[in-house]
């Protein structure tokens, strides 16, 4: 039963295109872990509940216009304003299942044509995830799934560019899961990946994101 020992919690991030199934799988994974007696919380970025998050939310809803670099830095600031709480939760033994993180920050802004190194820089020093699960779904398939909700980036041509940038960000902490498989199959794979990760990182120190 992962999480019942005195070790720290794991930082598990789910990434993927819009409509790749991240939010549903985060919820399923969270309730599974809780059922196993593991202390875990579900987080998401952007966190629309803060002042910065409200600016981001208005931008995504096309209710406000912001310069590309300005909105990029707001997304990063929205993670920075949660860093201290994230650290204390993890050190206190709570696992965080996070729907989007810095990889969304870079992939979406780079898809607009911003320089990748410039996009990465403001997130250096945030807490590095122990595991990044990428739900891999073809942009065309994702678009078919009940369509998009009308937010700013929910356009297939844009999502294709985002997918290319996600691809180039993959590193050793990434596990790619085929998000087009049946929901239960994906869920099963995520359970195993997360459980192993939680066990393995209990005694490991937290590290910072360096890219």
Could you list the residues that contact Mg ion (CB under 5 A)? 18
Kindly give the residue spans of alpha helices, DSSP state H, lying in 81-201.
Answer: 83-91, 102-110, 116-120, 139-144, 156-169, 183-200
Residue with tokens 């909105």: 71
The least CB distance from residue 106 to ligand FDM, in Å, is: 8
Residue 75 contact among ligand FDM, Mg ion, none, beta carbon within 5 to 8 Å by kind: ligand FDM
Q: Which is nearer to Mg ion, 18 or 123 (CB)?
A: 18
Q: Which of residues 48-107 bind ligand FDM (CB under 6 A)?
A: 60, 75, 100, 104-105
Residue with tokens 């989007």: 100
Q: Which of residues 159-178 bind ligand FDM (CB under 6 A)?
A: none
**Distance set, CA 3 to CA 8, 65, 117, 131 (Å):** 8, 43, 36, 16
The least CB distance from residue 196 to ligand FDM, in Å, is: 25
Residue 153 sits in the site that holds ligand FDM (CB under 6 A): yes
Residue with tokens 């910065």: 52
Name the token pair of 37. 């007696």
d(CA 87, CA 185): 31
Q: Which is nearer to ligand FDM, 138 or 202 (CB)?
A: 138
Q: Which is nearer to ligand FDM, 3 or 46 (CB)?
A: 46
State the binding string over 103-142 for ligand FDM (x if CB under 6 A, else -): -xx--x----------------------------------
d(CA 20, CA 189): 15
The least CB distance from residue 161 to Mg ion, in Å, is: 16
d(CA 10, CA 8): 7
Q: Which is nearer to Mg ion, 108 or 197 (CB)?
A: 108
Q: Which is nearer to ligand FDM, 15 or 130 (CB)?
A: 15
> Are residues 56 and 71 in contact, defined by beta-carbon separation less than 8 angstroms?
yes
Longest Cα–Cα distance of the chain, Å, equals: 48
Q: Which is nearer to ligand FDM, 101 or 198 (CB)?
A: 101
Strands (DSSP E) contained in the chain are 11-16, 40-44, 95-99, 131-136, 174-178
Give the footprint of ligand FDM on this chain (CB under 6 A): 18, 45-46, 60, 75, 100, 104-105, 108, 153
């Amino acid at each position: 039963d992962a999480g019942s020992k005195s070790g720290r919690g794991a930082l598990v991030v789910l990434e993927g295109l819009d409509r790749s199934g991240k939010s549903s799988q985060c919820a399923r994974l969270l309730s599974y872990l809780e059922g196993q007696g593991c202390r875990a919380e579900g987080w998401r970025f952007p966190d629309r509940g803060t002042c910065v998050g409200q600016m981001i939310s208005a931008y995504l809803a096309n209710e406000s216009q912001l310069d590309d670099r300005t909105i990029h830095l707001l997304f990063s600031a929205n993670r920075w304003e949660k860093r201290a709480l994230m650290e204390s939760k993890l050190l206190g033994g709570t696992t965080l299942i996070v729907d989007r993180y810095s990889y969304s920050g870079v992939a979406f802004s780079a898809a607009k044509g911003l320089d990748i190194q410039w996009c990465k820089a403001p997130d250096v020093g945030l807490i590095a995830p122990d595991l990044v699960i990428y739900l891999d779904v073809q942009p065309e398939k994702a678009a078919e799934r009940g369509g998009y909700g009308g937010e700013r980036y929910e356009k297939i041509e844009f999502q294709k560019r985002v997918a290319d940038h996600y691809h180039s960000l993959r590193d050793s902490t990434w596990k790619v899961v085929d998000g087009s498989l049946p929901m239960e199959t994906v869920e099963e794979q995520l359970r195993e990946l997360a459980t192993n990760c939680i066990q393995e990182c209990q005694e490991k120190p937290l590290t910072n994101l360096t890219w």
